[in-house]
Amino acid sequence: MYYEYGIDIKGLDDWEVSLVKVVGGFIWLGFSEQEPHKMLCISADKETIFDCEKGTVSPTKCVFDENERTAVCADLKDEIINICGQYGGELPHKTAQGEKLSSVKREEFKYGKTLVREEVTFTVKNGSSFLVYEGYAPYIYGFSPDGNYFVFATDGGLTVLKRKQ
């Protein structure tokens, strides 16, 4: 399945695309609790801060602990950021506003090995559900602490949606 933004956003009328980025060597991401519109992204090459409201990306430097799954950087007021990604952790799958995410994983034997495929469904406030992704298991997906931003990361890149005002 091909998705223009990495995910299918049809039916998500309360949401709009904020950012779509290719992140080579993606490892971790985490939202700030103090500034929930800011998301730290850690790749094998660099660290960046995504401003999910403005749709901008800025380089930063941080210190992170993969075992504790935390990061700290001066550009986020030395806040301890909980990080998650392809090696563990997770983001919230429900918002206080009523949206929720669900998924179904299945294994298929292809190319001489077992591959994991996943379907991700986004349920909006009125209870309608929309299949937003079907493909190989994504690295991480979920909502910001305040529920106003949704991020979806795969080996093809990272998509951030923001709630329409």
- Give me the tens of pLDDT residue by residue for the chain, a chain 165 residues long: 556 778 999 999 999 999 999 999 999 999 999 999 999 999 999 999 999 999 999 999 999 999 999 999 999 999 999 999 989 999 999 999 999 999 999 999 999 999 999 999 999 999 999 999 999 999 999 999 999 999 999 988 999 999 998
Residue 130, in any domain of the structure: yes
Residue 10, in any domain of the structure: no
The pLDDT value recorded for residue 2 is 54
The pLDDT value recorded for residue 59 is 98
Query: Could you tell me the strand order of the sheet in which 140-143 lies?
Result: 15-21, 157-163, 149-154, 140-143
The residue range of the domain holding 83 is 15-163
Residue 6, in any domain of the structure: no
Residue 7, in any domain of the structure: no
Q: How many domains does the chain have?
A: 1
Residue 1, in any domain of the structure: no
CA dist., res. 61 & res. 19, Å (int):
21
Residue 16 C-beta-side C-alpha neighbours within 13 Å: 6
How close are the terminal C-alpha atoms of the chain, in Å?
A: 30
The pLDDT value recorded for residue 140 is 97
Residue 28, in any domain of the structure: yes
DSSP codes of every residue in 76-88: GTT--EE-EETTB
pTM for the whole structure: 0.94
Residue 30, in any domain of the structure: yes
Beta strands in the chain (DSSP E): 15-21, 26-31, 38-43, 47-51, 56-60, 63-65, 70-72, 81-82, 84-85, 100-110, 113-123, 129-136, 140-143, 149-154, 157-163
Give the amino acid at 132.
Answer: V
Tokens 């190989």 belong to residue: 136
Residue 9, in any domain of the structure: no
CA dist., res. 80 & res. 165, Å (int):
28
CA dist., res. 58 & res. 19, Å (int):
13
